[in-house]
Structure 1
Amino acid sequence: MSLQGVYGQRLGQPLHLKDAPSLITRSLRSAALAVTETRDDNPAPGLSGSFPSEDAYLVSLKFRDYRDCECWERGRCVIKTDVRAGATYLYDLKRDPRYLIDKPFHSLFFYLPRTALDDIAKQTGAPRIGELGYQPGIGHDDAVVRHLGASFLEALRRPDETNQLFVDHMMLAFAAHVAQTYGGLQRIIDPHRGGLAPWQAKRACERLESNLDGKLSLEQIAAEFDLSVSHFSRAFRISTGLPPHQWLLRQRVEAAKRLMTVRDLPLSEIAISAGFAHQSHFTRVFSAAVGVSPGAWRREAHGVPEGAL
């Protein structure tokens, strides 16, 4: 049984990759969840190595076609098929999934251990999930995984700009989707359908606002109220109208606006003070949220003609 999980280099090594960037969350108390990017534009031909065996699944989103893919399980070829870009494929790590590497490939692999599926079922009051439903080498047209995958791919491209709250929220959404779509999870009516108590909402917002860099995890905040991450995230959104990571981005923008009332502060300093990774990150987020660049907003706020600041 693997104690570390099949992600990052533990996933990249059997695919003969030197680099396999990943994002990890521990928003479920029972297990880590992770997403890893795998890409090789000029692979050395040969059968992939074996992944560490454990009671867990890999869910893969493919970004390029891979014709005549030879898929192996338990030491033998089980199917030869065309893998389609944009499709989702499942792998059971108990079955020693492997494939013949003889063409360029580019994929995301989501690591989903059995303990995470059990935790999701427990939190929703549903029966334990059995084996996920899939056939080796058969892809699924899954728009939700495509959407989440695109968001994660962008986050992997800019790891210094990706806050932990975003990773926690999106991975929890991914795990719940897989549990329902491929595991038959039946959601039970949640007895905690309301928002946070006013004192809880106030304290949660204060905790987030005091950590604008986003390094505080959902698990840490939820634990302060003795709530599961999924319950806390849902209740926070009901109370504030936004999920925690989006609420945090709004607070960063508001903090930057307050700092920009001080004319002599450079934008690069404001960016760091407001929790952004750097000035270009600040400019991109601020412009998307407000509709104008930080420089233009500051000029307008001070009534200064363009070019004077």
Structure 2
Amino acid sequence: MTVGSVAEKQSGLADVFAAPARAGKLKVAAVEIRLPEPSLDVTPPPPRIDALIVRLQLSDYRGQRYWEDGVAAPIRDIAAGEILFHDLRRGPRLVLDQSYHALHVHIPRAAFDAIAADSNAVPIGDLDYAPGVGLEDPTIAGLGASILTGLRVGLARNQPFVDHLVLALAAHVAGRYGGMTAKPRAVRGGLAPWQARRAREILAANLDGGAPLAEVARQCGLSVGHFSRSFRQSFGTTPHQWLVQRRLEAAKDLIRSCRMPLSNVALSCGFADQSHLTRVFTREVGASPAAWRREVQQ
């Protein structure tokens, strides 16, 4: 499962409810949409496909006028931080008579089915929600904020990081609003030695996070969920956390052994930029890269 990202959508009414073009069978797309000028028009009908948009409102939207299947929902104020669901099978439409700012996460039905299969659960049916009604859901709001931060600082290139966020969001939606309940499984061990070796090889060769978690799992002959659980059992950490530690080790080696500019160190070790390296390095090591370099090169 991969995530396509677009930092901002500045124009185009169809962007509000249309499914992102690259969203395929199991692909999920996260898009920040910012329309600063009201269009005073109704969004065009989106393609009727079996997919859901989870919308995190990022600015207040007063007196929302909204339709599903041509039926008007009650006019409501939507507050920043509220969550709404838009079932693309039902032709959701909205009057854009004011500025609009929201995060849309597009989840196809096939992704929910894959989560159910991986959880040993029955696939979900329709979600339990009221059209056009904003909900308070701290879990989705928190995951959405993390996805949004990733889009803005370039972490969307880090596929394992974003995959975990989107899988967690989709699983939460399926459980809380779709009634999905996982059946208990027998406790299993971690990765086989060859699987652990292969996972290390792929992740270490892609410090920039360019290897999607689904591809690493496929190389190990496992589903994404089974791989993630087995990886944690084998290594005591998630694939993303393991990758962060490998980046830090590579950065330390370069900082210790040469005077390469920190901006080049960051890019060489899979960080988005120097500020990203500084944030992670300071959090994990307790000192900035520059301060650590002065200490070890004395």
Question: Fold conserved (TM > 0.5)?
Answer: yes
Paired residue for 1:256? Answer: 251
| 176, 185, 192: which one aligns with 1:190 | 185
Over the matched positions of the two proteins, sequence identity in percent amounts to 45
Return the alpha-carbon distance in structure 1 between the equivalents of residues 291 and 4 of structure 2. Answer: 46
Report if aligned partners of 1:125, 1:187 keep a CA contact under 8 Å in 2: yes
For residues 224-239 of structure 1, the aligned pairs below 5 Å read 224-239=219-234
User: What amino acid maps onto 2:53 in structure 1?
Assistant: L
| 15, 27, 38: which one aligns with 1:43 | 38
Moved more, 194-203 or 58-67: 194-203
| 203, 211, 220: which one aligns with 2:206 | 211
Report if aligned partners of 1:25, 1:171 keep a CA contact under 8 Å in 2: no
Report if aligned partners of 1:48, 1:100 keep a CA contact under 8 Å in 2: yes
* SS of residue paired to 1:261: helix
Q: Does 1:223 align with 2:215?
A: no
| 167, 170, 186: which one aligns with 1:172 | 167
| 102, 106, 128: which one aligns with 1:107 | 102
Report if aligned partners of 1:14, 1:48 keep a CA contact under 8 Å in 2: no
Return the alpha-carbon distance in structure 1 between the equivalents of residues 103 and 149 of structure 2. Answer: 12
User: What amino acid maps onto 1:49 in structure 2?
Assistant: P
Q: Does 1:247 align with 2:247?
A: no
Give the superposition deviation at 1:266. 2.6
* SS of residue paired to 1:185: coil
Moved more, 110-119 or 141-150: 110-119
Return the alpha-carbon distance in structure 2 between the equivalents of residues 13 and 56 of structure 1. Answer: 23
Return the alpha-carbon distance in structure 1 between the equivalents of residues 23 and 14 of structure 2. Answer: 25
Give the superposition deviation at 1:111. 0.8
Give the superposition deviation at 1:269. 2.6
Return the alpha-carbon distance in structure 1 between the equivalents of residues 279 and 156 of structure 2. Answer: 11
User: What amino acid maps onto 2:248 in structure 1?
Assistant: V
Paired residue for 1:32? Answer: 27
Return the alpha-carbon distance in structure 2 between the equivalents of residues 142 and 275 of structure 1. Answer: 33
Return the alpha-carbon distance in structure 2 between the equivalents of residues 214 and 185 of structure 1. Answer: 30
Return the alpha-carbon distance in structure 2 between the equivalents of residues 91 and 103 of structure 1. Answer: 19
What is the CA RMSD across the aligned residues, in angstroms?
Answer: 2.7
Task: Show structure 1 runs of 5+ residues with no match.
Answer: 305-309
Paired residue for 1:141? Answer: 136
Paired residue for 1:15? Answer: 13
User: What amino acid maps onto 2:36 in structure 1?
Assistant: D
Paired residue for 1:291? Answer: 286
Return the alpha-carbon distance in structure 1 between the equivalents of residues 115 and 156 of structure 2. Answer: 28
Give the superposition deviation at 1:239. 2.0
Aligned residues: 293
* SS of residue paired to 2:209: coil
- Alpha-carbon displacement from aligned partner over 1:270-300 (angstroms, at most 9, x marks no partner): 2222122332322222122212111110111
Cα distance change on mapping 1:40 and 1:14 into 2, 3 Å: closer
User: What amino acid maps onto 1:47 in structure 2?
Assistant: V
Cα distance change on mapping 1:36 and 1:264 into 2, 3 Å: closer
TM-score for both structures, normalised by structure 2: 0.89
- Alpha-carbon displacement from aligned partner over 1:32-75 (angstroms, at most 9, x marks no partner): 11111111122221111111111111111111221111111222
Give the superposition deviation at 1:201. 2.2
Paired residue for 2:275? Answer: 280
Give the superposition deviation at 1:177. 0.8
Return the alpha-carbon distance in structure 1 between the equivalents of residues 268 and 5 of structure 2. Answer: 33
User: What amino acid maps onto 1:137 in structure 2?
Assistant: G
User: What amino acid maps onto 1:179 in structure 2?
Assistant: A
Report if aligned partners of 2:11, 2:35 keep a CA contact under 8 Å in 1: no
- Alpha-carbon displacement from aligned partner over 1:7-46 (angstroms, at most 9, x marks no partner): 969x98763569x9x8x898xxx51111111111222211
Report if aligned partners of 1:212, 1:248 keep a CA contact under 8 Å in 2: yes
Report if aligned partners of 1:161, 1:281 keep a CA contact under 8 Å in 2: no
Cα distance change on mapping 1:7 and 1:138 into 2, 3 Å: farther
